[in-house]
Each structure stands twice: as structure tokens, then as C-alpha cells.
Amino acid sequence: TQLLEQSPQFLSIQEGENLTVYCNSSSVFSSLQWYRQEPGEGPVLLVTVVTGGEVKKLKRLTFQFGDARKDSSLHITAAQPGDTGLYLCAGAREVGNTPLVFGKGTRLSVIA
Amino acid sequence: DSGVTQTPKHLITATGQRVTLRCSPRSGDLSVYWYQQSLDQGLQFLIQYYNGEERAKGNILERFSAQQFPDLHSELNLSSLELGDSALYFCASSGPLRGGINEQFFGPGTRLTVL
């Protein structure tokens, strides 16, 4: 059973379009992180959200943590080819130095 | 560059063999995590060390073991290798908590191919 479900699994869009990817769970997380991974490389941390209802913006990327801290979304405005990659959400079940639980990811392809 | 280093980048070996993967965490980070990434399972947590001591265990097979040394680098040992062990193996490290938040930084990974 996958604790964190990400959707969609694959997404192919044209440059300039907007998109949203989702990360859902029936479990509560103390924090949730979003990573982007490119082929042959390790995941790179984009953002961490901690408070229920929290919204964080990183240039054209907007991250939201659900009120109940069970789900999150990533919205990209005016996607660019450089946004192409695997987007992973990861949750921490407890506060502290604990392992992360990862979703399987959304593979995004932005076509010029 | 995350500051986490892993060697080797690629490893090709045969079934039944044993290999060692090495990880150096970011300067000052005491926690090291090992994850396995396969196409069908995604990133799965294997094991965590904190300042030399095992802290948490995940889906790690008995054929696999790890340790963290006094200089905080870590090694993951995989033995009696099977075809299904072919995967990307990532090391991540984390440091002092900021507001209780555990942010993990990943190395570039080791791609293991078992033939």
C-alpha cells in the first residue's frame, strides 16, 4: 500500500500551459516536502510545508498543504521546458530526524 | 550540488556477488539515510543512521547491511546479489532541525546493475 498517492502519474503539456499535480494520503504528516528529480540525478528539494493550509510560492511554482495535513498540491504557472522532470512528494510522519515516505511521482514533460 | 557525495556512480556486477556503496553526508549533518529507487516501487527507505548509531529500519533485506563511521560517512553493503536488486541507490543526509523540520538532501545516487 502506497502511503502517498500522486496524480497524475504522467503529464505532457505545451509550453505556457498551467498544471497542477496532487499528493494525497489518508495519513497525517508533520511536514511534507516536494522534490524534483532529473534523469540520472538525485532528488532536489524544492520546498517544505509544515502548517495545515500553508501556501508557499517559488517563482512560478505554488505549493499548498491541506488543512488536515494529509494532502498537498503543486501548481505550475506558464510551464517551461526547464520544468520537465519527475516531481516527488515526501512526508515526514513525525517531527525530528525521521525517514521520509515518498509518493511514486509525477513525470512532467513540457514541450516547446 | 547538494553537498552529499556518493561513489561509485555506476556499478555492474553478477548475481551472487557482494558490493559496497559509499556516501559522504553534507558537512555537519549527523543523519544519513539510504533509499532504493526502482521503476515500479519508487523511492523506498532502507535504513537510517544518526551519529554512528542505527536509528530506523525500513524495507531493508537481511542480505543488506549498513554502517556509519566516526567521520560520519556511511557504507551500504549488498550481498548475495539478485537480478531484482538492480536499482538506483540514494543516500540523503539531514542536519540540525529548523523548527522541527527534517529537510533531507540527496546525493547523485549509485546505479547498480546485476547481470
**Is the pLDDT at A82 greater than 70, yes or no?**
yes
Residues in chain B: 115
Q: Is B108 in contact with A48 (Cβ distance < 8 A)?
A: no
A96 contacts B100? CB cut-off 8 A? yes
pLDDT of res. A2: 63
Return d(Cα A89, Cα A104) in angstroms, integer. 8
Establish how many alpha carbons lie within 13 A of residue B92's alpha carbon, considering only the half-sphere containing its beta carbon: 28
Q: Which residue has the cell 515526514?
A: A92
Q: Using CA coordinates, name the residue in chain A closest to B50.
A: A97
Q: Distance (Å) from the C-alpha of residue A32 to the closest C-alpha of chain B?
A: 9
Taking an 8 Å cut-off on Cβ atoms, the answer to whether A97 and B55 are in contact is yes
Tell me how many residue pairs between chain A and chain B have CB atoms under 8 A apart.
77
Residue A27, SS3 per DSSP: coil
Among residues A32, A25, A41, A23, which one has the least CA distance to residue A85?
A: A41
What is the Cα–Cα distance from B3 to B101, expressed in whole angstroms?
Answer: 19
Name beta bridge partners: B49: B32, B54
**Any B CB within 8 A of A82 CB:** no
User: Which residue out of A49, A97, A102, A104 would a mutagenesis test of the B interface target, given it has the greatest number of B Cβ atoms within 10 Å?
Assistant: A97
Residue A1 confidence (pLDDT) above 90:
no
Least confident of A52-56, A68-72, B1-5, B97-101: B97-101
Q: What are phi and psi of B11, to 5 degrees?
A: -145, 125
Could you tell me the maximum CA-CA distance found in chain B, to the nearest angstrom? 46
pLDDT (tens digit per residue) in B24-69? 999 999 999 999 999 877 899 999 999 999 999 998 999 999 999 9
Please, which residues have CB within 8 angstroms of residue A86's CB and are 6 or more apart in sequence?
A: A36, A37, A38, A105, A106, A107, A108
Looking at chain A, which residue has its C-alpha nearest residue B6? A42
Strand partners, B47: B34, B57
What's the distance, CA B17 to chain centroid?
Answer: 18
Q: What is the mean pLDDT of residues A58-68?
A: 96
- In angstroms, the CA B29 to CA B105 distance is 10
Q: Give dist(CA A62, CA A112) in Å, integer.
A: 22
DSSP classification of residue A97: S
Residues on chain B touching A45 (C-beta within 8 angstroms): 103-106
Of the candidates A2, A48, A99, the beta carbon closest to that of B58 is on A99
CA distance A61 to chain B (A): 19
**How far off is chain A from B81, nearest CA to CA, in Å?**
22
